[in-house]
Structure 1
């Protein structure tokens, strides 16, 4: 999560999510300008569609303090920012640790722990100046040497969101200035530094062991861990030393484990939780009719997909994969599953990510007869039986699986649906123990490489998103795109790459979902980000 970042929500990242809101992204990759935009005390970097601000009474005041309870479908199992990738952990890590630069609700890179940054014209030197008075949650000053330690640890660990840039040196030029020198240009670098995995922690873990540190981590984020059950809930308390003065407004943030979509909806209606992370799309209309609940939306960096394990004897055959792509009515599936909150996908990159080629890529359209002809070219012309893995508790995924099952049946492929608990689902695909699965790919930063690297690099952490898909031309184009400056030439590279993926379909992009959160109307200031995370430091509770 390269990075990539394709990140997984619900089964690997949570929720089914497009298109209430189109987001224009302004990536800063390869820029040699200073970036001086940053949030002020009163500023929330969210558009109105991405921020909860519903109320029952205009006279009811918002107040600081209180406890905000957030229902999530999976528990937090680790806070080690360099070794995690799934949403259940990532969206807790980003409440404790923060990077030098971040992205706002529109996907624009902004300075965060750094008050400014500069990129040299040759794209090799990155200079960051830390904010004045910046402190960790234990009250100790944040220095450039802490940033050096943090990024060096990330380089050493690698992990699922490894720093892909070839770093020559990390230097604390003075107490507040960090200089990063690269061996060769890497265009996505500034964008990838905004990933949660590039958060800053104290040098040498503040003098404790790694194991001890990540049980009770110290960071610069708006919250600190108060109580944590890795199999249940996580309670955060406000960071008294947070650099955004006066924030967070709430005293506590509770991540409450609610694994079932319907249970989450019921608890939101009953006021047992203040918001839910994963809104089942079929419930959106119902929630919108309630005066006590608002549905907060943002365009996303997510693509819902059907993934094939190319180590499987059936799905190693490109004709089998193409046959299923032709047999599947993506428009029909999208309409049935998203209730108008999704757009059928034609290529891997969602519309909100730069260099998406949705209007240029020629995808395999719905054509049952062509699908049968394609299957006839395969090693299995008479069809076969296989299994489709999904995580239980997600109604949209269950419906998608049934539609895919029917598409397979129409051309002689018998698909058995395996619905397993989330932890088992994750364990299965991490071990390549599946034939096909439904999941979603998601960018962690507003960068095309964020998704492309994670889903096409056979040598990367996920081996092309656990598909083991390998194509030398795709790999070559991927690396060319990483080194090519932003512009038309880079765009042409990514069009070629996405067309090959559309032709060979190691995964079938199904639809681009919107990010939807159900929120009590007593909540103000909840900022939804296009990676499906939420910023809670601006939240206030009414009454």
Structure 2
């Protein structure tokens, strides 16, 4: 999903994104103390608790206003990937399994699941008494319909496993049979795109259904402006007893991050998504504000369109990578809330190889020598596409521009509004761009497949990067069981990406959410989304 895929995933993190995650994660409540809360990665087998035993009962009722940089344009979970839509879809639709704030897979709509020893049969038993928001019962047939619809549509987060059958064994039991093992499958089922919706859309047309969607999630769409704000009401039939605590949830469109900061400080919103890194300490130390943080499945990157006359030349890409001081950029712009990236995969994901990858580190002399090997030894002029309204990205662009200048590459920064930015890169209408790659589920294949498969939905994240050996390794990794063999496959794949740099990993940013100190129970997820069923606003 880029800022998404996630970005992504996995979103635009949404990204897919399965990028995985083992470690640091943000604590869930914005308490009055100004320390960031951080989560550590231990698993859980059920929805994670949001309060300790000695904490008072949460406040109930009220409206929670969440500032977001982009409007929600669609609820069709099988056609969407960008974070603006993904992180609204996941409030309405829920999957059989999910991931918690630590990146661990947990049972969600399923009360249990099992995988056969040969890795071909997946059995899920639904929770007792599950209902959709309209009060109708959830059955295994609904899950069959939902997954088959996803298989038919495909979409940006398609089910990549070779599925043989999806069948309801009885009213509560679903059995999925694969034609061949696919290691990422259980993790990918946690994607928002595998949410469960009513069989046959509950008797209405697809168009009608997605204008007023019915799901099992904690919230129900009340009013929705695809170019503006979105208001949810609580789902009275939600399966987690007593939740959600709030009566209404408003997604408020705030396109500029400085405006978002001002509205948070003024109390006009209860929290803001994608808190700019340079504003984190200001909000952390504010009188009535706090920062909620988590390690992320996100990698900030400089992407190259390998169809571009300049960036199809590997020596040009390598030269710019060598000219760029990624450590300096990270330290200057992230204020301790990020780690310099060597690998495409964040360190929160298994098989990331960040400590073993031989990256192209900052060396201007080597950069000039590399450019001399290219078809453009005397340099050239190009453009860098950036979404406006994000001050961190604007500064990244200036640092990259200066780096290019040192070796004779003149870079014009083209800053455009976010929606148009997305349209441009979806159309491959760019030479280079700044964006993030993000996993949608806790699995290395999530981001690797999205960014290295030239035949996939995004054509290697809109770079058109093609390397037959990388594609072969990608497919081997999908079929290989977790362990040393899989680690070796991904190590080779990631080193090739580091050598050929179709994109330059810059840094792994923490997920930062700005919140009022009165906010309790907000859970930050490593894909950039938040869980709000347990959120409350103290009086």
2:264 equivalent in structure 1: 268
- Residue pairs, 1:123-522, within 5 angstroms: 123-522=119-518
Report the Cα distance in structure 2 between the residues aligned to 1:26 and 1:433, rounded to whole angstroms. 43
Whole-Å separation in 2 of the counterparts to 1:447 and 1:199: 18
Question: 1:11–1:426: 8 Å Cα contact kept in structure 2?
Answer: no
Instruction: Report the Cα distance in structure 1 between the residues aligned to 2:41 and 2:510, rounded to whole angstroms.
Output: 15
Mapped partners of 1:392, 1:8: distance in 2: 18
1:67 corresponds, among 58, 63, 66, to 63
Secondary structure of 1:346's partner?
coil
The alpha-carbon deviation at position 536 of structure 1 amounts to: 0.3
**Contact persistence 1:12–1:426 (CA under 8 A):** no
In 2, the alpha carbon distance for the partners of 1:348 and 1:224 equals 36
1:223–1:236 CA contact under 8 A, matched in 2 = yes
> 2: CA distance between counterparts of 1:415 and 1:235?
42
1:287 shift after superposition: 1.0
Q: Distance in 1 between matches of 2:42 and 2:494?
A: 21
| 2:6–2:82 Cα contact (<8 Å) kept | no
1:443-469: per-residue Cα shift (whole Å, max 9, x none)?
Answer: 011100010000000000000000000
Aligned partner of residue 423 in structure 1, secondary structure: helix
Q: Which runs of 5+ in 2 are unaligned?
A: 15-22, 27-37
Corresponding residue for 1:93? 89
SS at match of 2:469: helix
Q: What SS does the aligned partner of 1:174 have?
A: coil
Supply the distance in 1 between the matched residues of 2:68 and 2:104 (Cα, whole angstroms): 26
Change (3 A) 1:329 1:408: same
1:455-498 deviation per Cα after TM superposition (whole angstroms, max 9, x unaligned):
00000000000000000000000000000000010000000000
CA RMSD of aligned residues (A): 2.1
- Supply the distance in 2 between the matched residues of 1:498 and 1:105 (Cα, whole angstroms): 26
Q: Which residue of 2 aligns with 1:530?
A: 526
Per the alignment, in what secondary structure is the counterpart of residue 414 of structure 1? strand
Residues 303 and 504, structure 2, Cα contact 8 Å, conserved in 1? yes
Equivalent of residue 46 in structure 2, options 38, 62, 84: 38
SS for the counterpart of 1:416 is strand
Q: Per the alignment, in what secondary structure is the counterpart of residue 434 of structure 2?
A: strand
**Structure 1 unmatched runs, 5+:** 28-35, 48-52
Alpha-carbon contact 1:307-1:467 (below 8 Å) kept: yes
Query: What is the deviation of 1:119?
Result: 0.1
Matching residue of 2:18: none
Distance 2:358 2:520 in 1: 43
Report SS of the residue matched to 1:306.
strand
Give the structure 2 partner of residue 12 of structure 1. 12
Residue aligning to 2:32: none
Residue by residue over 1:408-445, the C-alpha shift from the partner in whole angstroms, topping out at 9 and shown as x without a partner, is 00000000000000000000000000000000000011
Match of 1:236, SS?
Answer: strand
Q: Is the 1:130–1:177 Cα contact (8 Å) retained in structure 2?
A: yes
Q: 1:248 to 1:214 in 2, by over 3 A?
A: same
Residues in 1 aligned to 2:389 and 2:79: alpha-carbon distance in whole angstroms: 26
Change (3 A) 1:533 1:20: closer
Cα deviation per residue 1:18-68 (whole Å; 9 max; x = unaligned)?
9787876579xxxxxxxx91127xx23x99xxxxx9xxxx99x84201000
Please give the secondary structure, in 2, of the residue aligned with 1:399: helix
CA shift at 1:339, angstroms?
A: 1.0
Q: Is the 8 A contact 2:24 2:102 kept in 1?
A: no
Report what 2:34 is aligned to: none
C-alpha distance in 1, partners of 2:183/2:490? 14
What secondary structure does 2:521 align onto?
strand
Q: Deviations over 1:180-202 (max 9, x none)?
A: 00000000000000000000000
Tell me, in whole angstroms, the C-alpha distance in 2 between the residues paired with 1:329 and 1:525: 39
Change (3 A) 1:5 1:288: closer
CA shift, 1:386, in A, is 0.2
Q: Distance in 2 between matches of 1:149 and 1:507?
A: 38
Task: Could you list the structure 1 runs, at least 4 aligned residues long, displaced by more than 4 angstroms after superposition.
Answer: 18-27
Q: Deviations over 1:69-90 (max 9, x none)?
A: 0000000000000000000000
TM-score between the two structures when normalised by the length of structure 1: 0.92
In 2, Cα distance between the equivalents of 1:310 and 1:80? 31
